[in-house]
């Protein structure tokens, strides 16, 4: 797959350059350069792998050579992160070696950048408990944890210079909206009629969900609320640009499609829970064909849907006696009497 730098122009003449990056082998995404008068912000910065860093370099030089912009590292005024996932912030160490431009992130993802090692340890600990409660076979748990940790050493903590709420959710010409769910500090950034959405909305797949028990302010409930929070923008924006996949022309229709997918998935979980099942058993039925890292993603996605239904009393534990006072144990869920269709 070879993608070119793409240029978008807002109704008021600001330019947004979409720079393709191979984030991990075979996994692509984008960083963006936003230029409006004296404001020049790099939005996200790739994974930090050499291939990602060098694609960022070539993207920036294409913006200068092919589009005549003065967009080199020295002219950058800001580096702004849409959310604290490594495919979006992992390049920060490299970026910091090239520019002194202040780095910004939302308050709720600040600790991912500034206390990275502590976060990885804490989430790994919680993930171990989650896999046990999800009923994953003991011999598979360690392999899943290894996959979770595989690219985590690419990054180490970096300082952050500004946080979005402290700036009044406005940085230069960008207006931010906080949309927790996919990630605690996920934001979308509006520039006239262009909306930069990170991983909040993607054109072809529904953004990944994981249970809030692993990290506060993730979870399907927050995510669905956040979809509604950006719906009013759908009549005002012409281009919606995500961290992966193609630009979205009809944001409202895409929000509808993602919401329906989750409602259908919630219903599928409810239908499966006419008999007691663990999260691993539900996941194997919802996502029968997954392998490798996708097994973890499927378990988290299923866990987020099970958690959403359990939080609302639509499902419950088969037996509360199954809960051990000290250690996590496999838990089976079952549909509650009187559960209503999703
Ligand atoms: Zn993400
Ligand atoms: Zn991403």
| Interval 171-209: pLDDT, tens | 999 999 999 999 999 999 999 999 999 999 999 999 999
Q: Which ligand is nearest to the CA of 179?
A: 1
Q: Which ligand is nearest to the CA of 200?
A: 1
How far is ligand 1, taken at its centre, from the CA of residue 67, in Å? 29
How far is ligand 2, taken at its centre, from the CA of residue 199, in Å? 5
How far is ligand 1, taken at its centre, from the CA of residue 330, in Å? 28
How far is ligand 1, taken at its centre, from the CA of residue 245, in Å? 13
Task: With 0.85 as the threshold, say if the pTM is over it.
Answer: yes
How far is ligand 1, taken at its centre, from the CA of residue 263, in Å? 21
How far is ligand 1, taken at its centre, from the CA of residue 276, in Å? 32
How far is ligand 1, taken at its centre, from the CA of residue 180, in Å? 11
How far is ligand 2, taken at its centre, from the CA of residue 222, in Å? 18
- Other C-beta atoms within 10 Å of 102: how many? 16
- Does the pLDDT at position 291 exceed 90? yes
Q: Classify strands 170-171 and 174-178 as parallel, antiparallel or unpaired.
A: antiparallel
How far is ligand 2, taken at its centre, from the CA of residue 176, in Å? 18
How far is ligand 1, taken at its centre, from the CA of residue 182, in Å? 6
| Interval 311-331: pLDDT, tens | 999 999 998 888 888 899 999
| Interval 248-287: pLDDT, tens | 999 999 999 999 999 999 999 999 999 999 999 999 999 9
**Strand-pair partners of 42:** 33, 79
- Helix and strand totals (H; E) in the chain: 10, 14
Q: Is 153 exposed, middle or buried (0-12, 13-18, 19+ CB in 10 A)?
A: exposed
Q: Classify strands 39-43 and 78-80 as parallel, antiparallel or unpaired.
A: parallel
How far is ligand 1, taken at its centre, from the CA of residue 151, in Å? 14
| CA–CA separation, 260 and 190 (whole Å) | 25
Grouping H, G, I as helix, E, B as strand and the rest as coil, residue 122 is: helix
| CA–CA separation, 60 and 46 (whole Å) | 13
How far is ligand 1, taken at its centre, from the CA of residue 122, in Å? 19
How far is ligand 1, taken at its centre, from the CA of residue 89, in Å? 10
Which of 47-51, 151-155, 212-216 has the weakest average pLDDT? 151-155
How far is ligand 2, taken at its centre, from the CA of residue 92, in Å? 15
DSSP-H helix ranges across 160-313: 220-230, 251-272, 279-286, 293-311
Q: Which ligand is nearest to the CA of 208?
A: 1
Q: Which ligand is nearest to the CA of 183?
A: 1
Q: How confident is the model at residue 2 (pLDDT cuts 50, 70, 90)?
A: low
User: Are the C-beta atoms of residues 43 and 32 closer than 8 Å to each other?
Assistant: yes
What's the mean pLDDT in 17-21? 98
DSSP string for residues in 11-42: TTS-EEEEEEEEEETTEEEEEEEEEETTEEEE
User: Are the C-beta atoms of residues 183 and 84 closer than 8 Å to each other?
Assistant: yes
How far is ligand 1, taken at its centre, from the CA of residue 317, in Å? 30
Q: How confident is the model at residue 1 (pLDDT cuts 50, 70, 90)?
A: low
Q: What integer best gives the mean pLDDT of the chain?
A: 96
How far is ligand 1, taken at its centre, from the CA of residue 177, in Å? 16
Share of the chain above pLDDT 70, in %: 99
Share of the chain above pLDDT 90, in %: 93
The DSSP element (H or E) to which 171 belongs, if any, is strand 170-171
């Amino acid at each position: 797959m070879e993608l070119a730098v793409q240029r978008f122009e807002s109704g008021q003449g600001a330019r947004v350059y979409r720079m393709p990056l191979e984030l991990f082998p075979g996994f692509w995404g984008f960083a963006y350069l936003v230029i409006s008068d004296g404001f020049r912000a790099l939005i996200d910065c790739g994974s930090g792998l050499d291939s990602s860093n060098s694609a960022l370099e070539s993207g920036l030089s294409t913006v200068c050579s092919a589009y005549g912009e003065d967009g080199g590292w020295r002219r950058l005024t800001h580096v702004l992160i849409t959310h604290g996932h490594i495919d979006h912030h992992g390049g920060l160490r490299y970026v910091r070696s090239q520019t002194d431009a202040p780095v910004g992130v939302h308050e709720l993802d600040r600790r991912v950048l500034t206390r990275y090692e502590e976060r990885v340890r804490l989430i790994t600990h919680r993930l171990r408990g989650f896999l046990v409660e999800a009923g994953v076979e003991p011999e598979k748990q360690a392999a899943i944890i290894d996959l979770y940790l595989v690219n985590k050493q690419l990054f180490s903590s970096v300082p952050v210079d500004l946080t979005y709420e402290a700036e009044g959710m406005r940085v230069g010409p960008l207006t931010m909206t906080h949309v927790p769910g996919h990630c605690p500090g996920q934001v979308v950034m509006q520039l006239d009629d262009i909306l930069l959405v990170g991983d909040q909305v993607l054109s072809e797949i529904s953004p990944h969900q994981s249970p809030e028990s692993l990290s506060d302010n993730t979870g399907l409930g927050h995510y669905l609320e956040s979809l509604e929070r950006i719906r009013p923008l759908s009549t005002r924006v012409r281009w919606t640009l995500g961290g992966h996949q193609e630009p979205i022309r009809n944001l409202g229709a895409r929000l509808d499609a993602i919401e329906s997918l989750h409602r259908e998935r919630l219903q599928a979980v409810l239908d499966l829970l006419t008999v007691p099942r663990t999260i691993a058993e539900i996941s194997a039925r919802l996502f029968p064909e997954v392998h490798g890292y996708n097994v973890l993603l499927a378990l988290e996605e299923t866990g987020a849907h099970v958690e959403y239904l359990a939080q609302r009393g639509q499902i419950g534990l088969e037996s509360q006696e199954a809960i051990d006072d000290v250690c996590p144990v496999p838990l089976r869920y079952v549909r509650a009497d009187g559960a209503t269709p999703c």
